[in-house]
Amino acid sequence: MNSCSGKSWPPWSSAFGYFGLGLAGDPTPFLIATVLYMFCVAAFGTMAGAAIPEQASAMQAVALFGFLLVFLLAGLVFPVENIPVGIRWISNIVWGRYYIEIVRDALLQGGGWPAMWPRVASIGSIGGLFYMLAWGKLRRMQLET
């Protein structure tokens, strides 16, 4: 829960205070999506750690899929529309895409729940899928011993 720790307060306070950044609408979709995003990342790491037997390989998988794909295919650097059609479908299962859209809406547009609930639900669904896959793998490992 890094965003709840003391490390995140100086950047947020400078963004809101010094630069005058503010939330454009209802902050609850943003706050709930932040918690779900952290759950999704933790569940993905748990799933990768449970599925891959070697620690170094699991760390590489998390770095490759959890960071590189999210960074490149989420629409932060390149718009999703500019991603080649053959790999654009992958961005539909990248949880960072939906979080970036929620952050942009919270800081710029202020659409609130009517505009953001499908994206919040998508992050929760992807996190739930990762959690269930990790739970199933860990359950089988527990039964084998």
For every one of its 145 residues, what pLDDT tens digit does the chain have, with 9 covering 90 and above? 555 566 777 777 777 778 777 777 788 899 999 999 999 999 999 999 999 889 898 899 888 888 888 888 888 888 888 988 888 888 888 889 999 999 988 888 888 888 899 999 999 999 999 999 999 988 887 766 5
Structure tokens at 123: 């992050």
Q: What is the DSSP string of 74-134?
A: SSSSS-GGGS-HHHHGGGGG-HHHHHHHHHHIIIII---HHHHHHHHHHHHHHHHHHHHHH
> Which pLDDT belongs to residue 3?
52
Q: What is the DSSP letter of 24?
A: -
Q: Which residues contact 43 (CB under 8 A, 6 or more apart)?
A: 127, 128, 130, 131, 134
104, 30 Cβ separation under 8 angstroms: no
> Which pLDDT belongs to residue 98?
93
> Which pLDDT belongs to residue 129?
95
Angle ∠(109,22,101) on CA atoms, nearest 5: 40
> Which pLDDT belongs to residue 87?
87
> Which pLDDT belongs to residue 145?
59
